[in-house]
């Protein structure tokens, strides 16, 4: 990757930080050592493969900061004023499990905006700020919106339980696909599941548990019985109608220039009214981007963009790309749900983005 | 000289020696019984290095030995991106062991990873922590569960007597090596239908990063012909 020397990279970062400050952001810092627990609770066990875990003799497991978003959100939730704009510049650390040139330590310059008033305008402000700062590099801009897929799932004619299962796996395409195939009646039910349903028709869960052997461990008999009851209920549910499954699939594969994508989504909303708010949000975002001088017609839109790599984003997402052999120079998006998780009962709509100054320098810099 | 690393003791050592002997190559400890050096007779240009089976993957990855005999499971567990650094040269037909995910037999509602994933979500909501899976194969299990899209679990380290962790309430499920499944059954556990993480056996591995001179390459070709690999 970058052969540019560290001082040159830091200078690029400083220029970006200055640009963010000029846009009204307050510079903030974050500890390099972050408590591992909050990150593990958010991202699950997978983050151990991507972050450096270290042991503090007194504080337990700590992680070398894999990103700034979590500590900045925690800082803001602990007493920031509203609305708030923050900027930062510092190293992040990403453990690499594959041989190759991917950096395990690099600078990140970021801009985060906490604002309840007008989400489309906030999306546009963050995108325009980052896109504008990198304009000299002529990068390809890709946008997306995980919230459209989420709204499509919420709009399915099926049980809340099935919707919750799909929502939980929005960021795991393989498992999402299996669930959708099963709920849509396209995958044959597992024969073992069918057999269990038959046995539950003849016997109580408690009797089956007792017959299967002594119950060991922390998961109690009433939890097993409750899931058995849920499985019996679910087996009687009709499949999700095929046209609705087709709409979800069409959204997953939607890739077009932004205006054409909006048109396509309007078509889907005609068939699935639950999509109407998502389409209205996208339309308002495009208008807000245009008002900030962004050429919306030139933006790529991929409805599933960032689905596998940017798991805490739940609305607008974007990436600025130099080419396939380089990681994105900048990424960002909306993460309203993350503030709710970290805010312990409080939440605030938030959107932000980060730039890798090392990649900016490798591409020739901003000067 | 090609350095061939083989396990220094136990059943794996005996089976390795038998396997080579059946192909006309004898591996012999030189000097005292406790000395970890040896010789290879029946083929030229190969020397014997006796190592603990668990060290062989690391020595291969570092290129300090040219060839090594060890389990497929330990290579995959210990060496990140192992396929880029080590070549599996031949499977030896012994040391069979399956790494599997097992849950209490009394979980009548759980037969597949799909069930485990759903239970993990409910368990976390009910108990306030992620469902714990005890294992010593962290990389293999984590990679497997990520590929399968299982969430809301955590791995807890267990270096021995892993089958007992569920009864002791330090884990809800386990991922461990089994050959017959008997120990699992005795501990009231059952294997998930699609819970096979890896079917492992002993294999001969070649290190990409070892120093392969022209004489070593010739010796390797000769060894390969002798072993019919």
Binary contact (A224, B109; C-beta < 8 A): yes
- Cβ atoms of B78 and B57 closer than 8 Å: yes
pLDDT at A12 over 80: yes
A61/B173 Cα distance (integer angstroms):
23
List, for residues A250-305, the tens digit of each pLDDT value. 999 999 999 999 999 999 999 999 999 999 999 999 999 999 999 999 999 999 99
Binary contact (B117, A175; C-beta < 8 A): yes
- For tokens 């970290």, name the residue: A342
List, for residues B107-139, the tens digit of each pLDDT value. 999 999 999 999 999 999 999 999 999 999 999
Same domain, yes or no, for A286 and A201? no
Pairing, β B2-7 against β B67-71? parallel
List, for residues A299-338, the tens digit of each pLDDT value. 999 999 988 775 688 899 999 999 888 899 999 999 998 8
Which domain-ending residue is among A204, A227, A242?
A242
Same domain, yes or no, for A233 and A90? no
A350/A85 Cα distance (integer angstroms):
10
A95, closest residue in chain B (CA to CA): B80
Identify the helix (H) or strand (E) that includes residue A157: none
The counts of H helices and E strands in chain B are 7, 12
Q: What is the pTM of this model?
A: 0.91
Q: Nearest 5°: CA angle at A44, between B125 and B178?
A: 95
Write the CB contacts of B24 (distance below 8 Å, at least 6 apart in sequence): B42, B226
Token pair for B157: 């380290």
A258/A286 Cα distance (integer angstroms):
8
- The mean per-residue pLDDT over the stretch A123-136 comes to 97
- Cβ atoms of A143 and A37 closer than 8 Å: no
B224/B87 Cα distance (integer angstroms):
14
Binary contact (A217, B80; C-beta < 8 A): no
Same domain, yes or no, for A31 and A91? yes
B81, closest residue in chain A (CA to CA): A98
Write the CB contacts of A5 (distance below 8 Å, at least 6 apart in sequence): none
Token pair for A301: 């839109």
pLDDT at A149 over 80: yes
Same domain, yes or no, for A260 and A353? yes
Write the CB contacts of A269 (distance below 8 Å, at least 6 apart in sequence): A275, A276, A278, A279
Write the CB contacts of A160 (distance below 8 Å, at least 6 apart in sequence): none
Which domain-ending residue is among A242, A273, A290?
A242
Same domain, yes or no, for A80 and A145? yes
- Cβ atoms of A52 and A63 closer than 8 Å: yes
Supply the pLDDT for residue A5: 85
Binary contact (A217, B171; C-beta < 8 A): yes
Split at pLDDT 50, 70, 90, the class of A2 is: very low
Look at residues A173, A175, A154, A316 and name the one whose alpha carbon lies nearest to residue A240: A154
A316/A364 Cα distance (integer angstroms):
29
B4/B166 Cα distance (integer angstroms):
40
DSSP of A35-52: EHHHHHHHH-GGGGGTS-
List, for residues A189-206, the tens digit of each pLDDT value. 889 999 999 999 999 999
Is residue A91 included in any domain, yes or no? Answer: yes
Write the CB contacts of A61 (distance below 8 Å, at least 6 apart in sequence): A35, A36, A37, A40, A53, A54, A55
**Dihedral angle over CA of A214, A219, A225, A227, nearest 10:** -140
Look at residues A24, A250, A291, A165 and name the one whose alpha carbon lies nearest to residue B114: A165
Nearest chain A CA: its distance from B146 CA (Å): 7
Instruction: Parse chain B into domains and list their residue ranges.
Output: 2-96+201-227, 97-200
Split at pLDDT 50, 70, 90, the class of A1 is: very low
DSSP β-bridge partners for residue B196: B100
- Kindly list the residues of chain B whose beta carbon comes within 8 Å of any beta carbon in chain A: 80-81, 84-85, 104-109, 111-112, 114, 117-119, 121-123, 126-127, 130, 138-139, 142-143, 145-155, 166-167, 169, 171-172, 187-188, 193
In CATH terms, the superfamily for domain B97-200 is Periplasmic binding protein-like II (3.40.190.10)
Tell me the CA distances in angstroms from A54 to A72, A177, A346, one per residue in order.
Answer: 21, 36, 30
Peptide bond preceding B40 in cis form (omega within 30 of 0): no
Look at residues A62, A44, A136 and name the one whose alpha carbon lies nearest to residue B124: A44
Binary contact (A216, B167; C-beta < 8 A): yes
B166, closest residue in chain A (CA to CA): A217
Domains B2-96+201-227 and B97-200 agree in fold = yes
**Dihedral angle over CA of B219, B221, B225, B229, nearest 10:** 120
Same domain, yes or no, for A220 and A263? no
List, for residues B9-65, the tens digit of each pLDDT value. 889 999 999 999 999 999 988 766 656 678 899 999 999 999 988 899 999 999 999
Beta strands in chain A (DSSP E): 26-27, 33-35, 53-56, 60-64, 84-93, 105-114, 140-145, 255-257, 300-302, 316-321, 330-334, 350-355
Supply the pLDDT for residue B33: 61
Which domain-ending residue is among A188, A223, A242?
A242
- Cβ atoms of A214 and B106 closer than 8 Å: yes
Token pair for A224: 């097993």
Radius of gyration of chain B (CA): 20
Assigned fold of B2-96+201-227: D-Maltodextrin-Binding Protein; domain 2 (3.40.190)
- The mean per-residue pLDDT over the stretch A227-246 comes to 96
- Cβ atoms of B87 and B116 closer than 8 Å: no
Write the CB contacts of B84 (distance below 8 Å, at least 6 apart in sequence): A98, A99, B208
Look at residues A320, A266, A285 and name the one whose alpha carbon lies nearest to residue A141: A320
| B contact test, residue of A44, A159, A169 with most B CBs within 10 A | A44
More confident residue, A44 or A239: A239
More confident residue, A46 or A21: A21
Residue A40, chain B, CB below 8 Å: the answer is yes
Identify the helix (H) or strand (E) that includes residue A109: strand A105-114
B81, B146, B172 member nearest A217 (Cβ): B172
Same domain, yes or no, for A190 and A83? no
Is residue A367 included in any domain, yes or no? Answer: no
Same domain, yes or no, for A49 and A68? yes
- Rounded to whole angstroms, the maximal C-alpha distance in chain B is 64
Same domain, yes or no, for A228 and A285? no
Which residue range is the domain that position A238 belongs to? 161-242
Write the CB contacts of A323 (distance below 8 Å, at least 6 apart in sequence): none
Write the CB contacts of A100 (distance below 8 Å, at least 6 apart in sequence): none
CATH number of A345's domain: 3.30.930.10
Pairing, β B131-135 against β B173-178? parallel
Token pair for A140: 């390809």
**What's the sign of the alpha-carbon dihedral A123, A126, A132, A138?**
negative
Domain count, chain A: 2
Supply the pLDDT for residue A312: 80
Same domain, yes or no, for A339 and A301? yes
- Cβ atoms of B16 and B202 closer than 8 Å: yes
Nearest chain A CA: its distance from B115 CA (Å): 10
List, for residues A25-68, the tens digit of each pLDDT value. 999 999 999 999 888 888 888 888 889 999 999 999 999 999 99
A162, closest residue in chain B (CA to CA): B118
A276/A254 Cα distance (integer angstroms):
17
Binary contact (A192, B193; C-beta < 8 A): yes
Is residue A1 included in any domain, yes or no? Answer: no
Supply the pLDDT for residue B36: 67
Q: DSSP assignment, residue B42? A: S
A212/A202 Cα distance (integer angstroms):
15
Supply the pLDDT for residue B37: 73
What three-state secondary structure class fits B64? coil
């Amino acid at each position: 990757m970058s052969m540019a020397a560290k001082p040159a990279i830091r200078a690029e970062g400083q220029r970006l930080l200055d640009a963010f400050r000029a846009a009204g952001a307050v510079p903030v810092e974050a500890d390099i050592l972050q408590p591992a627990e909050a990150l593990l609770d958010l991202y699950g066990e997978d983050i151990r493969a991507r972050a450096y875990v270290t042991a503090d003799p007194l504080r337990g497991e700590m992680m070398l900061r894999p990103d700034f978003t979590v500590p900045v959100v925690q800082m803001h939730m602990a007493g920031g004023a509203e609305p708030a704009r923050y900027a930062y510049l510092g190293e992040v650390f990403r453990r690499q499990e594959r041989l190759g040139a991917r950096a395990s330590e690099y600078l990140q310059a970021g801009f985060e905006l906490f604002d309840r008033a007008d989400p489309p305008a906030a999306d546009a402000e963050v995108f325009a700020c980052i896109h504008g700062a990198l304009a000299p590099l002529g990068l390809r801009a890709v946008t997306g919106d995980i919230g459209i897929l989420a709204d499509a799932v919420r709009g399915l004619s099926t049980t809340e339980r099935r919707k919750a299962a799909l929502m939980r796996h929005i960021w795991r395409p393989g498992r999402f696909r299996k669930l959708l195939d099963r709920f849509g009646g396209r995958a044959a039910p597992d024969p073992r599941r069918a057999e269990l349903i038959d046995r539950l028709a003849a016997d109580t869960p408690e009797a089956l548990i007792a017959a299967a052997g002594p119950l060991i461990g922390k998961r109690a008999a009433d939890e097993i019985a409750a899931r058995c009851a849920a499985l019996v209920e679910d087996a009687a549910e009709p499949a999700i109608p095929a046209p609705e499954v087709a709409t979800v699939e069409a959204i997953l594969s939607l890739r077009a220039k932004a205006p054409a994508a909006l048109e396509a989504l309007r078509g889907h909303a005609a068939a699935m009214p639950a999509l109407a708010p998502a389409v209205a949000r996208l339309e308002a975002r495009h208008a807000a981007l245009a008002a900030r001088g962004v050429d919306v017609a030139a933006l790529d839109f991929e409805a599933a963009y960032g689905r596998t790599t940017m798991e805490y984003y739940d609305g607008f997402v974007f990436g600025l790309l130099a080419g396939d052999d380089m990681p994105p120079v900048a990424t960002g998006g909306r993460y309203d749900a993350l503030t709710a998780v970290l805010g312990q009962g409080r939440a605030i709509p938030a959107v932000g983005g980060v730039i890798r100054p090392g990649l900016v320098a490798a591409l020739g810099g901003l000067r | 000289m090609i350095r061939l690393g083989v396990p220094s003791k136990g059943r794996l050592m005996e089976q390795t020696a038998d396997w080579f002997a059946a192909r006309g190559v004898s591996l012999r400890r030189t000097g005292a019984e406790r000395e970890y050096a040896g010789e290879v007779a029946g083929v030229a240009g190969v020397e014997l290095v006796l190592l603990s089976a668990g060290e062989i993957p690391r020595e291969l990855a570092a290129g300090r030995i040219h060839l090594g005999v060890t389990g497929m499971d330990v290579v995959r567990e210990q060496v990140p991106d192992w396929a880029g650094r080590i070549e599996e040269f031949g499977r030896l037909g012994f040391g069979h062991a399956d790494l599997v995910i097992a849950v209490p037999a009394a979980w009548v509602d759980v037969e597949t990873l799909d069930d485990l994933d759903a239970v993990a979500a409910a368990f976390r909501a009910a108990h306030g922590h992620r469902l714990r899976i005890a294992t010593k194969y962290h990389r293999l299990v984590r990679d497997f569960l990520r590929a399968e899209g299982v969430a809301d679990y955590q791995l807890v380290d267990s270096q021995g007597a892993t089958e007992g962790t569920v009864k002791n309430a330090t884990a809800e499920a386990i991922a461990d090596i089994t050959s017959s499944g008997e120990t699992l059954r005795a501990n009231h556990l059952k294997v998930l239908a699609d819970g096979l993480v890896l079917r492992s056996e002993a294999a001969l591995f070649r290190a990409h990063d070892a120093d392969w001179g022209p004489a070593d390459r010739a010796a390797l070709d000769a060894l390969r012909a002798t072993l019919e690999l």
